Amino acid sequence: MSDASPINVPSLRAEARDILAKLGVPAGRFAESGLPARSPVTGEVLTHVAPVDAAAATTAIEAAHDAFLAWRSVPAPKRGELVRLFGEELRAHKAELGRLVSIEVGKVTSEGLGEVQEMIDICDFAVGLSRQLYGLTIATERPDHRMMETWHPLGVVGIISAFNFPVAVWSWNAALALVCGNAIVWKPSEKTLLTALATEAIFAKALARFAADGNAVPKGLSAVLTGDRAIGEVLVDHPKVPLVSATGSTAMGRQVGPKLAARFARSILELGGNNAAIVCPSADLDLTLRGVAFAAIGTAGQRCTTLRRLFVHESVYDALLPRLKSAYGSVKVGNPLENGVLVGPLIDAGAYEKMQGALDAARALGASVTGGERVAAADEAFYVRPALVEIGRQEGPVEQETFAPILYVMKYSEFEEALALHNGVPQGLSSSIFTNDLREAELFLSARGSDCGIANVNIGPSGAEIGGAFGGEKETGGGRESGSDAWKGYMRRATNTLNYGRTLPLAQGVTFDV
Ligand code: NAD
């Protein structure tokens, strides 16, 4: 234990179990000697989840493959109907699932609910999409021919998710994969098994309604594999899984990516970020302060899009930094279920140790650190004040993603220098510029600007709407999920040429008369 004051939150065990029972999670999903499901809010073990072994995981994948063989022939708008019903069930159970997200991950109440809202939004998007899986008709060089492309379902889509968006990331993949005609098998984070089981129970309600409406529901269409990385590996290695969408650390992607490539399976990799913002001389500092504070401190720094590096022009540095320090000093850290609290706990002891390690490494480089200390505690609950680190150069811990609320602040004088530093890290997820100078804004968004998958002007890098394609470059993995045309990643494209004439002209003027 540290010197931090004890956290005074009553046990959440009964409430979590009550939510799981209300949502209809089957008793067989729990086992006394199973995987511990912990709350970072209190540090306590809430219950134990029955683990799935490799043989059971394989059986589930094979059942999903059989389900796919039937599901691919169901018309896409009908597949959309199942997702529509799922969206309705999520609306009906938003309060319970949102609360469970807060209990299991430590998100503040509005963010727990916001995560479920994101699930609802992607369901709506996918329902519309189920009538818009368009292929092109393409001009052909041959007379009396037509060329077109058609999009077909792919097979079983494996989904591996991280702890910090325990259910929304699954829904981004699941809603699209289902309307695209695929079956889904999910390996959730071993740190967030309860929200996964709750989501499975809510999806089961949608399946039951779909069946009650007279639709055939192929058995095994969706499965949840409760296990650790070894179970994730079963999914990655199985030849009947043509696509794995994996969200997590770059270290995970380094293991998963090459394995999928070796068997020519597809991957959507959504990995770590080291997101930055540039604050220019013309920036609106009130707006910048709010944008930076939410992006750097929100969700206790545990978003893949969290702002981790800030480049501030020397002309506004002294105006911005004291205000930022004061926000860091006054932001309410504590029980995320309480009104007014903006920063909840870190997920576990490992996260706390990594944060302290990064701060020590920054101090060793001469950085000045404000905050970062443990402010409230229980044996296994870790509440920290967000850390603001003023550092002279981009080196050491600044170049890595530490999944905790640490913001490294650096001063710059030339825009090009700031841009080079901005892009000078291995990760490439999200980015921002705060400026009212059109040239700077446009340059930042141009081919010579930010090298990230997400680039914003006068908005922090954290968070995203489901309508856009989400993902990043370089060590962030290159995958795209959610909106825009990300659905194409979940289907296979066939190019079709039809000859409605009586001759057989060959392309490129080739002759072959037999
Ligand atoms: P993690 O890498 O520890 O685990 C993620 C998931 O991968 C878990 O389900 C885990 O069991 C599984 N896994 C790990 N190794 C595996 C292997 N070899 N084979 C198969 N499965 C394996 O990540 P975490 O701590 O849960 O989450 C935090 C990380 O996720 C951060 O790096 C964060 O930036 C990243 N993240 C990225 C995005 C994104 O969209 N880019 C979104 C959320 C989180």
Q: Active-site residue 270, yes or no?
A: yes
Mutate to test the pocket of ligand 1, among 49, 164, 165, 254 (most ligand atoms within 8 A of CB): 164
Residue 202 clears pLDDT 90, i.e. is over it: yes
Which ligand 1 atom minimizes the distance to the CA of 470?
40
Q: If you average pLDDT over residues 67-94, what whole number do you get?
A: 98
Check whether 136 has a pLDDT greater than 60: yes
CA–centroid distance, 249 to ligand 1, in Å, is 4
Residue 160 CB less than 6 A away from ligand 1: yes
CA distance 248 to 271: 5
DSSP 106-154: ---HHHHHHHHHHHHHHHHHHHHHTT-----EE--SSTTEEEEEEEEE-
The residue whose CA has the least distance to atom 1 of ligand 1 is 248
What ipTM does this complex have? 0.99
- Residue 488: pLDDT band (50, 70, 90) is very high
Query: Ligand 1 mean position to 490 CA, how many Å?
Result: 20
Asked if residues 399 and 392 have their Cβ atoms less than 8 Å apart, the reply is no
2 band by pLDDT with thresholds 50, 70 and 90: low
Q: How far is the CA of 186 from the centre of ligand 1 (A)?
A: 13
Average pLDDT (426-437) is 98
- In this structure, what is the dihedral angle of CA atoms 71, 156, 92, 127, given to the nearest 10 degrees? -60
C-beta of residue 143 within 8 angstroms of C-beta of residue 497: no
Residue 233 has a pLDDT of: 98
Residue 444 in this model has a pLDDT that exceeds 50: yes
Separation between Cα atoms, residue 161 and residue 186, nearest integer Å: 8
Question: Ligand 1, closest atom to CA 227?
Answer: 11
Residue with the smallest CA separation from ligand 1 atom 15 is: 252
Q: In which band, very low, low, confident or very high, does the pLDDT at 1 lie, cut at 50, 70 and 90?
A: very low
CB of residue 229 inside a 6 A radius of ligand 1: yes
Residue nearest to atom 26 of ligand 1 (CA): 162
> What is 417-449 written as a DSSP string?
HHHHHHH-SSEESEEEEE-S-HHHHHHHHSTTS
Cα–Cα distance, 216 to 344 (Å, whole number): 44
* Ligand 1 proximity of 429 Cβ (cutoff 6 Å): yes
The alpha carbon of 266 and the centre of ligand 1 are apart by a number of angstroms equal to 17
- Whether 267 lines ligand 1, by a CB cut-off of 6 Å, is no
Task: Determine the average pLDDT of the residues in 41-47.
Answer: 97
The residue whose CA is least distant from atom 16 of ligand 1 is 229
Separation of CA 272 and ligand 1 centre (Å) = 8
The whole-chain average pLDDT of the chain stands at 97
Q: For position 61, what pLDDT does the model report?
A: 98
Q: How far, in Å, from the CA of 89 to the mean position of ligand 1?
A: 27
**Which of 104, 270, 440, 481 is an active site residue?**
270
| Cα dihedral 340/343/345/350 (nearest 10) | 180
- Is the pLDDT at 5 greater than 90, yes or no? no
**Which residue CA neighbors atom 21 of ligand 1 most closely?**
232
Cα 486 to chain center, whole Å? 14
Mutate to test the pocket of ligand 1, among 38, 229, 268 (most ligand atoms within 8 A of CB): 229
Ligand 1 centroid to 74 CA: how many Å? Answer: 33
pLDDT at position 7 is 77
**For residue 4, what pLDDT is reported?**
72
Query: Does the CB atom of residue 115 touch ligand 1 within 6 A?
Result: no
Closest atom of ligand 1 relative to the 272 alpha carbon: 34
Rounded mean pLDDT, 69-94: 98
Task: With a cut of 90, say whether residue 347 has pLDDT above it.
Answer: yes
Q: Is 476 exposed, middle or buried (CB count within 10 Å of its CB: 0-12, 13-18, 19+)?
A: buried
Residue 322 class from Cβ within 10 Å (0-12 exposed, 13-18 middle, 19+ buried)? exposed
Considering the entire predicted model, what is its pTM? 0.97
Q: Give yes or no for residue 163 having a pLDDT over 60.
A: yes
Residue 248 in contact with ligand 1 by CB distance below 6 A: yes
What was the pLDDT predicted at 355?
98
